[in-house]
Amino acid sequence: MEISLVIPTYNEEESLPELSNWIKEVMDTHHFTYELIFIDDGSTDQSWKIIKNLSDQNTCIKGIRFRRNYGKSAALNTGFSIAQGNVVITMDSDLQDNPEEIPALYKMITEENYDLVSGWKKKRHDPITKTIPTKLYNWATRRMTKLKLHDINCGLKAYKNDVIKTIEVYGEMHRYIPVIALRAGFSKIGEKVVMHQERKYGKTKFGMERFINGFLDLLSISFVSRFGKRPMHFFGSLGTLAFIGGGIISIWLIIEKIYGLAHNMPVRDITDQPLFYLALVAMIIGSQLFLTGFVSELIARNSPEKNKYLIKEALNIELKKNAT
């Protein structure tokens, strides 16, 4: 099978028939073999009923229904787990992503050998309250991850099958799939300018809180990417510096008092000096940070993912997916 389309949907009953027909038209025009996987993320409207009807009419259409709304990351991860196409393409179900972009994305993966291609909605049909925070968010992401993508959260993306079978998307990390893929060793990541359609039905399911959550997730994935397999390097370094700094201050206060006593100079008790308590706090915090790093290192070393992403290919050996 050439293409798997994974489409999370939540309360998009109006757009689903039009979207599936549009995709079918593009697939038939270019003679692609494909599967269309709708992930109903706990919709409360008639979305699942429509998906079932569409599936009865077209055997290429498949569907999975969640018991409740788990979020886009869970929907994508579930779709990735069953996708069989050589190229996997994700898009939103609100008709703001244009299926006419699929052939060009497929070509970039198969002919130009990209591991992942992310869409770039260069001209957006969104209110300014959404476009400006989006630009700031993408700028911050580029600065922190060193990944030169203009629109990292664009729902329209194409992947090699190996990419989506290797990575795991959880929490709210769907925004950072390119970062996760890069961390996993898939370094050829490209970008393509894509059309952004105006919303035709309903309203967006995401509020302003997504920018706050997105920033927190960015901090999380940046830390995990750099120190996830060696947390002692982070916590241990900070703890050691804090402990040594507090220790030096304490020793200096003790030497100062001994010197004063030896020369019959007036001296204050060490415990009467605020600097002593600052030094004591620094040593306590340093010890806690060091122990945090030590415990984190033990957890990381016993994690089932500690050696994940190591093997790219093998000869005459059959590797289980997600085993490395």
Task: Report how many domains make up the chain.
Answer: 2
Beta strand pairing status for 87-90 and 157-160? antiparallel
The per-residue pLDDT for 153 is 82
Which of 205, 227, 249 delimits the end of a domain?
A: 227
Beta strand pairing status for 34-40 and 157-160? unpaired
Same-domain status, 236 and 219: no
Beta strand pairing status for 3-9 and 34-40? parallel
State which residues form the domain around 265.
Answer: 231-301
**For 123-131, which contacts have Cβ atoms below 8 Å and span 24 or more sequence positions?**
123/196, 124/196, 125/96, 125/196, 125/197, 125/198, 125/199, 126/196, 129/208, 130/204
Establish if 308 belongs to a structural domain. Answer: no
Establish if 19 belongs to a structural domain. Answer: yes
Same-domain status, 223 and 235: no
The per-residue pLDDT for 267 is 80
The per-residue pLDDT for 310 is 46
Same-domain status, 151 and 269: no
Q: Which residues of the chain have pLDDT under 70?
A: 125-130, 202-219, 221-229, 300-324
Same-domain status, 47 and 181: yes
- Complete DSSP assignment for 286-324: HHHHHHHHHHHHHHHHT-TTTTTT-----SS-PPPTT--
Q: Which regions of the chain does DSSP assign to beta strands (E)?
A: 3-9, 34-40, 61-65, 87-90, 116-120, 157-160, 189-193
The per-residue pLDDT for 261 is 85
Establish if 57 belongs to a structural domain. Answer: yes
Same-domain status, 132 and 270: no
Same-domain status, 98 and 136: yes
Q: How many residues does the chain have?
A: 324
Which of 227, 248, 271 delimits the end of a domain?
A: 227
The per-residue pLDDT for 66 is 93
Give the residue among 99, 87, 63, 113 at the shortest CA–CA distance from 2.
87
Establish if 324 belongs to a structural domain. Answer: no
Q: Is 263 exposed, middle or buried (0-12, 13-18, 19+ CB in 10 A)?
A: exposed
Query: Could you tell me the CATH number of the domain that includes residue 138?
Result: 3.90.550.10
The per-residue pLDDT for 234 is 82
Same-domain status, 206 and 236: no
Tell me the per-residue pLDDT of 132-167, one tens digit each, with 9 for 90 and over. 777 777 787 787 777 888 888 888 999 999 999 998
Same-domain status, 221 and 239: no
Q: Please count the CA atoms within 13 angstroms of the CA of 101 that sit on its side-chain side.
A: 25
Q: What is the pTM of this model?
A: 0.71
